[in-house]
A and B are shown apart, each in its own frame.
Chain A
């Protein structure tokens, strides 16, 4: 069939659709989000797609669909799998009926996650099969195969691409789709109710099936002889995107070697591994995150040197690259092997342009640092600023949470003192207050995170008579992952209208007697509201309501009346807004004045409210007054 340019996550979505999936649930999380978004965008007939409130809920709902015979896909990032681990562990004991595939995208680096955990390890712990694609085209094929495997063994199957597969695009060939699997309906039976007796039998079954499972997964693993027919002395074992880097490095070095590429690492393919090791002088393992393949090989090595993360030849943390693999190979392989192989172009032969020219690289100007920051016009900036002002001079601890607002920890706001995991701001604050009674304890939590796992923490606070201020930053979307709807938005995953949950009503129902709502962009009101809340005791809440700039229509940008700008830099230094900077003004003999990037400014007006000289105004008001630009 046709080749289409697909992102890895899109390939997973197409793979599931072409496998006849009819139930798709998940919670957004980088780098997994686009998989569910793609199904929601394509809206295939007969497929239910939902953003669930969290990963545990998503998996349980999908389990139900599978019990009734539907093929189901659940999507999440690796830390989401922690949230879903409770149903996952039990589900292996109960088993599934319709194919159930769980996309758990790992994030080596990590680029945007709390942990560098490895879903393959999780699969070992849970005794589940896990497929590890090395490219988008493989992700497509593996997704389809995962449904078959799931039904064959009545087991949930994990699919764990990593960031460089999820967010890479390649030409993917779509194969003939399987017709939509019509759910057969739920058939009552003892097997759906987990009991100790059933679990005992299930555990025996889970262990006993492993050799058969390993055999069924053989097609996902392969041995390749690279660069020649002479007996290979060097072996490279690899998995996931590590396989891509390993193949590239071997290509560059022209190295004669044998590759073992493992796409299904659990149960470990021991027979194929033994075949791979036979006759080799040494083996390098190329894998990101944990040494899963390396640990699988170690007992089979019979004294043959095994290099990888355990001896530090491969980095123990962070992403790999072809260059890293090349230098790892150079440290373990005799030079003759590399030179003899007719290298295409080795790393040392490749010279970057900077440094190879007459220009000394010492002359190279250092580009500005660009860490991620809250967007211009972000309501979180306004909320943080108001609370910071209100708490000034008092001992206060600001517990943060997971979302865009974690970026509030950066200067100049510096308003995130703790951040642990989804929903933990609300609960960490409770413990902090017990152990540090003098402090005002604030817990900032976004709307989507509140629904995900904040509500139970609030109930716990009320029940246990905590003394804290819950600050819900309600921007009416899941911002960090790119604007997904949630129960508070009144919109479903496919853009249809949905019942709109009220955060204030939920807080009250959970027992929070003192709930205030405020517009964070009204600085005075926001500060006053915070003061009022601080002066009370017990659990009180403030809901700061203002939409994310990604969902709200931007207003007219602000402008600076240069003549009145004192150059005090209060606006830049208090807010850290990316639309604000200081530049010399040609009109006023190079005097340093504030400058607004009108392409970024949304006209939120926060800076205008804090400017001591009131020189920042909406652009309309300044037109004709001689203000305007520099």
Chain B
């Protein structure tokens, strides 16, 4: 949610009109969470907060299986930025239908030509917080989104309490570096 609002904030700071749609409530209890972000110069060009299937420019996946689940939103020629670390599903574990994260990563490699993979867990360990995966992914996606590091930092300052800025800034930077390594 924070990630989607930061993207929207960046877009607004550059003079665009932005919309997001978020999943809040029941879906957060271990369920899939999907946020949509759209921006455009004119509000009338994006009446709906929801992105139609097959029309997203960029997909940011916090988990490989979830990235695959949302892949139908991505348009042909679209790009994806995905963290390779899987999150096990308690229910799938119960029924014994657990699928390895690598299976999804391999599929993404084949399906998405413009793919950036980052090791979110490694970055989290380096930065010292598992909660900064969102920033690492945004850092890796910054170029695709068309936002400079400075724009992102400004947005971060607008939406986060000052004591969290340094940590998140480092995650942004690590994400950007991980992206270079990925290519």
A350 & B53 in contact (Cβ 8 Å cutoff): yes
Query: In the assembled complex, which residues on chain A have CB atoms less than 8 Å from the CB atom of B77?
Result: 353
Q: How far is the CA of A350 from the CA of B51 in the complex (A)?
A: 12
A266 contacts B by Cβ under 8 Å: no
Q: How far is the CA of A578 from the CA of B18 in the complex (A)?
A: 35
B26 & A112 in contact (Cβ 8 Å cutoff): yes
7 chain-A/chain-B pairs, Cβ below 8 angstroms? A111-B23, A244-B47, A351-B76, A356-B76, A363-B107, A365-B103, A372-B26
Query: In the assembled complex, which residues on chain A have CB atoms less than 8 Å from the CB atom of B91?
Result: 368-371, 373, 410, 576
B128 contacts A by Cβ under 8 Å: no
B161 contacts A by Cβ under 8 Å: no
A581 & B18 in contact (Cβ 8 Å cutoff): no
Query: In the assembled complex, which residues on chain B have CB atoms less than 8 Å from the CB atom of A66?
Result: none
Query: In the assembled complex, which residues on chain B have CB atoms less than 8 Å from the CB atom of A111?
Result: 23, 25-27
Among B44, B46, B49, B92, the most chain A Cβ lie within 10 Å of the Cβ of B49
Query: In the assembled complex, which residues on chain B have CB atoms less than 8 Å from the CB atom of A168?
Result: 19-22, 49
A464 contacts B by Cβ under 8 Å: no
A374's nearest neighbour on chain B, judged by CB, is B29
B107 & A352 in contact (Cβ 8 Å cutoff): no
B24's nearest neighbour on chain A, judged by CB, is A167
A364 & B73 in contact (Cβ 8 Å cutoff): no
Query: In the assembled complex, which residues on chain B have CB atoms less than 8 Å from the CB atom of A248?
Result: 46-48, 52
Task: From known contacts A5-B9, A367-B66, infer whether A30 and B52 are also in contact, taking CB-CB under 8 Å.
Answer: no
Q: How far is the CB of B34 from chain A (nearest CB, A)?
A: 11
B89 & A369 in contact (Cβ 8 Å cutoff): yes
Query: In the assembled complex, which residues on chain B have CB atoms less than 8 Å from the CB atom of A576?
Result: 90-91, 94
Q: How far is the CA of A170 from the CA of B73 in the complex (A)?
A: 21
Task: From known contacts A365-B107, A368-B97, infer whether A351 and B75 are also in contact, taking CB-CB under 8 Å.
Answer: yes
Count chain A residues whose beta carbon lies closer than 8 angstroms to a beta carbon of B: 69
A353 & B78 in contact (Cβ 8 Å cutoff): yes
B48 & A322 in contact (Cβ 8 Å cutoff): yes
A243 & B47 in contact (Cβ 8 Å cutoff): yes
**A interface residues (Cβ-Cβ under 8 A, vs B):** 3, 5, 7, 30-31, 111-112, 135, 137, 164, 167-171, 241, 243-245, 247-248, 251-252, 321-323, 345, 347, 350-354, 356-359, 363-375, 404, 407, 410-412, 480-482, 572-573, 576-578, 580-583, 597, 599
Query: In the assembled complex, which residues on chain A have CB atoms less than 8 Å from the CB atom of B52?
Result: 248, 252, 321-323, 347, 350
A370 & B26 in contact (Cβ 8 Å cutoff): no
A411's nearest neighbour on chain B, judged by CB, is B94
Query: In the assembled complex, which residues on chain B have CB atoms less than 8 Å from the CB atom of A357?
Result: 76, 110-113
A168's nearest neighbour on chain B, judged by CB, is B49
B53's nearest neighbour on chain A, judged by CB, is A352
B8 & A5 in contact (Cβ 8 Å cutoff): yes
Q: How far is the CA of A358 from the CA of B76 in the complex (A)?
A: 11
| Binary contact track B29-45/A, C-beta < 8 Å → 1, others 0 | 11110000000000111
Q: How far is the CB of A579 from chain B (nearest CB, A)?
A: 8
B5 & A169 in contact (Cβ 8 Å cutoff): yes
Q: How far is the CB of A225 from chain B (nearest CB, A)?
A: 14
Query: In the assembled complex, which residues on chain A have CB atoms less than 8 Å from the CB atom of B160?
Result: none
Query: What 10 pairs across the A-B complex have the smallest Cβ distances?
Result: A372-B29, A352-B54, A368-B92, A112-B26, A247-B47, A30-B25, A578-B90, A368-B89, A168-B49, A367-B65
A375 & B25 in contact (Cβ 8 Å cutoff): no
B93 & A581 in contact (Cβ 8 Å cutoff): yes
Q: How far is the CB of A529 from chain B (nearest CB, A)?
A: 27
